[in-house]
């Protein structure tokens, strides 16, 4: 008993001592038995018997000692050892002395009882049921009690004639002892049968795990018992036969420790299964897989794994349902699974597994590790889920890449931002997809990120579908040998910035040119400035400004850069098929490739190293005035929007030209006004000189003649005076008309309506007059309107061959409109008639406009518009 | 002196009147005739004046400065080219200051404003 206690205390120390003691006892007992046999005078086969006895004893004691080291089998080990030692007792049959012989006869059958005891106590070493205890008690009573009674009445002469004396013999009563021995045999058979019956029931009721443990040992035990029982039966009939029976029983019982050893080895193998289990748990698997692995490891298909519920209120099974723990007395028991000292789950398993406590412990530890890792995995999954949700919320592509540059994972909402579809990228290497230099950079970044450990930001450019894009990569390690990068595309931003910079430069250049234009710089200076600004802005070396002439010629009016040959300023060239000609023909931007052109100009340009050209029209007053052409060398490329940008400059050139034209026109108009004024003075002087003055001169001469005639011929003088008074009247009329022609007094005194009424009355044709003007308009406007009507009606009377004319004067949107229409022959030309041109100059001086519509045969309409606002300002300025 | 003057006047009484204004020509011819001059002809422009001067050989040409085809100075040049002795007297409705040195440079004998014209003024210029 103390050995068993010690064995329980510790597997290596105390159990080791117990085993040593047991082995020593076994060895000593076996040695004693061999000695008895060796010196025996009666042993028929001392050597064979010694070997046989030692084999049986040492097998049982050895197995028992082995079981002592395995804590749940310690008690059973002791019982096995007891069987071995009990088997030695029979050796005393061959002792030379009476005392050991008598003791041997008394106890020779006890081995049967010990065997029954051991078998019924298997595997825990305890007798679990009342029946078992009764049977064991019966067996001991039978082999010791019944045997003892039989021995005291038996002279024991059946085995050997020369055996020692039976010290316990009370009386020779052969019939009684034989009867008792037969009864003992019967009882032994009955016990053996009962044991078989119990075993059969027990095996049938056992769980598979328990059955696997029970079957080898119990079956072997049964066979041994039956053979023993046979020995009992045979002993009364024939001593050697009985010995053979016992011998066979003992021999068979050797199978018992063998079977037990097999079971133990099975257990060892199961512990190997724990190793497998640990390996298996290393593999990813579901919750059920863990349970199945545990079942396999412990050989218990009924095993259920409980995980600590999230609220720690109990356990849940692999399906997530609440797991009810077995109650005391159930076939199943629960073993808690601990991790770091805390319960993390439970194993509900067959009670029998408790016998393999170390295995259970190992499996439970493995399950603990698995559950802990499962739990950590779940926590990780939760974090990962959160991260993933975060990543999902980030619109930018996320790429996981291994240290060696292999794409591990690619996620992107917008696959347009990727070089390939994610599934095409995964598994490939950056070197397969990126340009060598970018791949080098990326490999460098990965290495640096994995070395530094933190978030590193890189910027790079990449061409996707032929479009250059700017990217920013934020890379951080996602494992020992991999990094994750979030790639942000900021192409639009970059483009916008570049566009803004470009726009600012363009605006500045345009502003410089516009300042020149606004400052009335000579067009030649504007042309030069434009060619220069365009080159600087677009990063080109040469620009030329053409001015198209008549008869297919063009003049180089502006040039910047290293263009030589015929393209010198002021050169007049024949237009040939090319950019400029295309611009002239279409009035739209054009591009040409010199390689496809055959003209001498193109040849010269090719020779000068130019490859192509882009040109835009310069439009003045709706006509294509010229072209702005930039010549490109082979290394210079022009994006598509170039034409737009050139156009802005071309428009400024057009504006400069138009403005210069307008200035010329103003100067010409001023000249015409001066000339008209001079002509008017000349006309007045001529009229005065030729008209009134001549008449007055003639009158003065006439008066002198009259003076002379008065003396010689008073009648003639009388006649002369009469002629002279007529001449004087004519002179007065002429002077009056002349004065009227200088400025109509009625216009000053009575206003436009009255003046036009007088005018209409003087014209020798029917004039319908419609003047719709409230009050007076500024004097300059009134005068211009009056003379417009006057000149127009004079023209009608002189040239139109019209029957009637209509004059309308009305105010419209701060403009005084004057219309003179006739039903004459038409065909008048405002440019040719000096009268109309003078009128136009006068109207334009007042910021007004004058049109003449005069289709041949369709009458003539002259319309003048005079802005009242400018006029009133002019008038206001004139007033003191 | 007086005799010489009379002789001279009597020698130079044949006058050609040149002016584009018919009214003036009429008045001037009537006035000069009244005052003892013989108006041998009248011309309305420079070309006609040169022609008639050759034909009629007048003593005096009363020549208006302002003519439709050429001015009086040019006509004077032509007339004097034909006959350097011819006496050309320029007339104008403007006064002398309008022409200034041009009159003397032309080679004409004198200038008289139309309003001042009379036989006496003409005679004074011819003396």
B34–A708: do the CB atoms touch at under 8 Å? yes
Contact call for residues B75 and B89 (beta carbons, < 8 A)? no
- How much is the pLDDT for A871? 41
Q: What's the maximum distance between 2 C-alpha atoms anywhere in chain A?
A: 239
Any residues with CB less than 8 A from the CB of A443 and at least 6 apart, and which?
Answer: A405, A430, A431
State the burial class of residue A550 (Cβ atoms within 10 Å of its Cβ: 0-12, 13-18, 19+). exposed
Q: Which of A694, A700, A705 sits opposite B21 (nearest CB)?
A: A694
Does A710 reach chain B within 8 Å, measured CB to CB?
A: no
Nearest CB among B66, B94, B117 relative to A701 is that of B117
The pLDDT score that the predictor gives to residue A15 is 64
Q: Which CATH architecture has domain A744-878?
A: 2-Layer Sandwich (3.30)
Q: Residue A20 — φ and ψ, nearest 5°?
A: -60, -45
Query: Which of A705, A709, A712 is the closest to B27 by Cβ?
Result: A705
Would the CB atoms of B24 and A690 count as touching at under 8 Å? no
Q: Do A2-268 and A394-489 come out as alike in CATH topology?
A: no
Domain B10-126 has CATH 3.40.50.2300: yes
The partner residue sitting opposite B34, judged by closest CB among A693, A697, A705, is A705
Residue extents of the structural domains in chain A: 2-268, 283-386, 394-489, 496-652, 744-878
- In this predicted complex, what is the ipTM? 0.79
Predicted confidence band at B15 (pLDDT cuts at 50, 70, 90)?
very high
Name which of A64, A14, A57 is nearest A250 in CA terms: A57
Query: What is the reported pLDDT for A352?
Result: 78
Q: Please identify every stretch of chain A with a pLDDT value under 70, giving residue numbers as ranges.
A: 1-15, 71-72, 155-161, 207-209, 235-246, 250, 252, 265-288, 384, 387-388, 390-393, 830-834, 870-880
Cβ partners under 8 Å of residue B69, min gap 6: B45, B46, B47
Q: Starting at the edge strand that comes first in sequence, how are the strands of the sheet with A304-308 ordered?
A: A315-316, A304-308, A342-350, A332-339
From A702's Cα to the closest Cα of chain B, the distance in A is: 6
Instruction: Give the count of Cβ contacts less than 8 A between chain A and B.
Output: 43
State residue B3's pLDDT score: 44
Distance between CA atoms of residues A691 and A731, nearest Å: 7
Q: How far is CA A152 from CA A178, A236, A264, A471, A510, in A?
A: 12, 16, 43, 110, 142
Beta strands in A299-424 (DSSP E): 304-308, 315-316, 332-339, 342-350, 398-402, 407-411
What superfamily does domain A496-652 belong to in CATH? GAF domain (3.30.450.40)
| Cross-chain residue pair A689–B21, CB shorter than 8 Å | no
Rg, chain B, Cα only? 13
Q: Please give the pLDDT value at position A540.
A: 83
* A394-489: CATH number: 3.30.450.20
Spell out which residues of chain A touch residue B118, defining contact as CB-CB under 8 Å. Answer: 704
Q: Which of B26, B66, B115 sits opposite A700 (nearest CB)?
A: B115
Look at residue A870 in the predicted model and tell me its pLDDT.
Answer: 47
Q: A697 vs B24: CB contact, 8 Å cut-off?
A: yes
Residues B74-92 have pLDDT tens digits of: 999 999 999 998 999 999 8
Mapped onto helix, strand or coil, the DSSP state of residue B18 is strand
- State the Cα–Cα distance between residues B23 and B13, nearest whole angstrom: 22
* pTM more than 0.95: no
Every domain of chain B and the residues it spans:
10-126
Could you report the per-residue pLDDT of B29-42, keeping only the tens digit for each?
988 988 889 999 99
Calpha distance A336→A339 (Å, rounded): 10
Concatenated DSSP letters for A52-70?
HHHHHHHHHHHHHHHHHTS
* CA-based nearest residue in chain A for residue B94: A689
pLDDT at position B16, please? 95
List the 3-42 stretch of B: residues with Cβ below 8 A of A: 21, 23-24, 26-28, 30-31, 34-35
**Quick check: helix, strand or coil at residue A185?**
helix
Residue A805 has which token pair? 């004319």
Yes or no, beta carbons of B115 and A698 under 8 Å apart: no
Residue of B nearest to A727 (CA): B23
CB-side exposure of A549: number of CA atoms within 13 Å? 12
Instruction: Tell me the shortest Cα–Cα distance from B23 to chain A, in angstroms.
Output: 6
Domain A2-268: CATH architecture, name and number where available: Up-down Bundle (1.20)
Q: What angle do CA A698, A703, A708 make, to 5 degrees?
A: 125
Substitution target in B34, B68, B72 with the highest count of A β-carbons within 10 Å is B34
Is residue B126 over pLDDT 50? yes
User: CA of A679, closest CA in chain B: separation in Å?
Assistant: 17
């Amino acid at each position: 008993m103390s050995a068993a206690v010690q064995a329980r205390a510790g597997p290596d120390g105390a159990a080791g001592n117990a085993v040593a003691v047991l082995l020593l006892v076994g060895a000593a007992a076996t040695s004693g038995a061999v000695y008895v046999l060796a010196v025996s005078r009666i042993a028929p086969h001392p050597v064979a018997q010694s070997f046989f006895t030692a084999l049986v004893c040492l097998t049982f004691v050895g197995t028992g000692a082995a079981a002592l080291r395995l804590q749940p089998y310690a008690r059973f080990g002791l019982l096995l050892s007891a069987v071995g030692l009990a088997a030695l007792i029979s050796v005393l049959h061959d002792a030379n002395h009476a005392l050991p012989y008598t003791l041997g006869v008394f106890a020779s059958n006890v081995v049967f009882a010990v065997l029954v005891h051991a078998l019924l106590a298997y595997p825990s070493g305890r007798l679990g049921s009342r029946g078992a205890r009764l049977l064991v008690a019966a067996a001991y009573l039978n082999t010791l009690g019944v045997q003892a009674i039989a021995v005291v009445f038996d002279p024991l002469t059946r085995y050997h004639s020369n055996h020692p004396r039976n010290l316990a013999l009370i009386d020779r009563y052969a019939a009684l002892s034989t009867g008792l021995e037969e009864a003992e045999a019967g009882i032994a058979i009955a016990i053996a049968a009962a044991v078989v019956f119990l075993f059969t029931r027990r095996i049938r009721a056992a769980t598979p795990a328990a059955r696997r443990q029970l079957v080898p040992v119990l079956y072997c035990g049964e066979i041994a018992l039956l053979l023993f029982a046979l020995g009992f039966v045979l002993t009364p009939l024939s001593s050697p036969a009985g010995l053979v029976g016992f011998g066979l029983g003992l021999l068979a019982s050797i199978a018992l420790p063998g079977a037990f050893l097999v079971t133990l080895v099975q257990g060892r193998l199961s512990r190997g299964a724990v190793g497998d289990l640990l390996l298996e748990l290393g593999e990813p698997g579901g919750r059920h897989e863990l349970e199945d692995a545990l079942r396999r490891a412990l050989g218990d298909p009924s095993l259920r794994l409980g995980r600590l519920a999230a609220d720690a209120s109990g356990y849940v099974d692999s399906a997530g349902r609440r797991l009810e723990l077995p109650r005391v007395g159930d076939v199943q028991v629960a073993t808690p699974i601990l991790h770091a000292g805390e319960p993390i789950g439970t194993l509900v398993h067959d009670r029998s597994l408790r016998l393999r406590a170390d295995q259970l412990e190992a499996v439970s530890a493995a399950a603990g590790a698995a559950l802990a890792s499962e739990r950590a995995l779940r926590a990780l999954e939760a974090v990962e889920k959160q991260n993933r949700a975060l990543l999902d919320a980030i619109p930018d592509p996320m790429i996981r890449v291994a240290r060696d540059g292999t794409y591990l994972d690619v996620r992107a909402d917008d696959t347009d931002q990727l070089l390939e579809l994610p599934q095409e990228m995964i598994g490939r290497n950056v070197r397969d997809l990126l340009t060598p230099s970018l791949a080098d950079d990326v490999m460098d970044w990965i290495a640096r990120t994995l070395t530094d450990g933190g978030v590193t930001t890189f910027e790079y450019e990449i061409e996707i579908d032929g479009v250059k894009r700017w990217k920013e990569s934020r890379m951080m390690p996602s494992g020992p040998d991999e990094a994750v990068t979030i790639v942000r595309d900021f192409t639009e931003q970059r483009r916008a910035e570049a566009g803004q910079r470009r726009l600012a430069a363009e605006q500045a250049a345009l502003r410089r040119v516009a300042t020149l234009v606004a400052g009335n710089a000579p067009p030649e200076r504007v042309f030069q400035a434009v060619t220069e600004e365009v080159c600087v802005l677009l990063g080109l070396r040469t620009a030329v400004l053409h001015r198209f002439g008549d008869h297919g010629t063009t003049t180089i009016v502006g040039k910047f850069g290293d263009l030589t040959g015929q393209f010198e300023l002021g050169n007049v060239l024949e237009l040939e098929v090319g950019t400029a000609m295309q611009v002239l023909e279409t009035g739209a931007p054009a591009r040409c490739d010199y390689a496809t052109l055959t003209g001498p100009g193109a040849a010269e340009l090719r020779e000068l190293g130019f490859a192509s050209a882009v040109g835009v029209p310069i439009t003045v007053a709706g006509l294509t005035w010229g072209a702005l052409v930039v010549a490109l060398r082979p290394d210079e490329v022009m994006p598509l929007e170039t034409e737009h940008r050139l156009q802005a400059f071309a428009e400024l050139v057009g504006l400069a030209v138009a403005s210069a034209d307008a200035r010329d026109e103003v100067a010409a108009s001023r000249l015409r006004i001066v000339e008209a004024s001079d002509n008017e003075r000349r006309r007045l002087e001529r009229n005065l000189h030729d008209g009134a003055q001549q008449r007055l001169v003639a009158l003065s001469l006439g008066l002198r003649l009259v003076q002379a005639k008065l003396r010689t011929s008073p009648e003639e003088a009388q006649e002369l005076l009469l002629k002279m008074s007529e001449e004087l009247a004519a002179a007065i009329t002429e002077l009056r008309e002349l004065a009227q022609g200088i400025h109509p007094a009625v216009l000053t005194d009575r206003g436009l309506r009255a003046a036009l009424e007088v005018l209409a009355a003087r014209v020798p044709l029917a004039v319908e007059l419609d003047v719709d003007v409230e009050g007076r308009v500024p004097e300059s406007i009134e005068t211009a309107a009056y003379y417009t009507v006057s000149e127009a009606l004079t023209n009608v009377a002189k040239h139109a061959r019209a029957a009637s004319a209509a004059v309308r004067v009305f105010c419209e949107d701060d403009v005084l409109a004057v219309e003179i229409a006739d039903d004459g022959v038409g065909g008048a030309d405002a440019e040719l008639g000096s009268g109309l041109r003078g009128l136009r100059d006068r109207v334009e001086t007042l910021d007004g406009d004058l049109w003449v519509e005069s289709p041949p045969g369709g009458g003539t309409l002259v319309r003048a518009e005079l802005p009242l606002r400018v006029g009133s300002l002019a008038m206001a300025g004139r007033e003191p | 002196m007086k005799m010489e003057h009379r002789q001279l006047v009597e020698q130079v009484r044949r006058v050609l009147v040149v002016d584009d204004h018919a009214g003036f020509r009429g008045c001037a011819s009537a006035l000069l005739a009244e005052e003892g001059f013989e108006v041998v002809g009248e011309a309305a422009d420079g070309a006609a004046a040169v022609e008639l001067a050759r034909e009629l050989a007048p003593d005096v040409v009363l020549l208006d400065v302002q003519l439709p085809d050429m001015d009086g100075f040019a006509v004077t040049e032509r007339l004097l080219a034909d006959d350097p002795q011819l006496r050309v007297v320029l007339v104008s409705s403007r006064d002398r200051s309008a022409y200034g040195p041009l009159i003397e440079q032309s080679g004409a004998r004198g200038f008289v404003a139309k309003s001042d014209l009379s036989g006496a003024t003409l005679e004074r210029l011819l003396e």
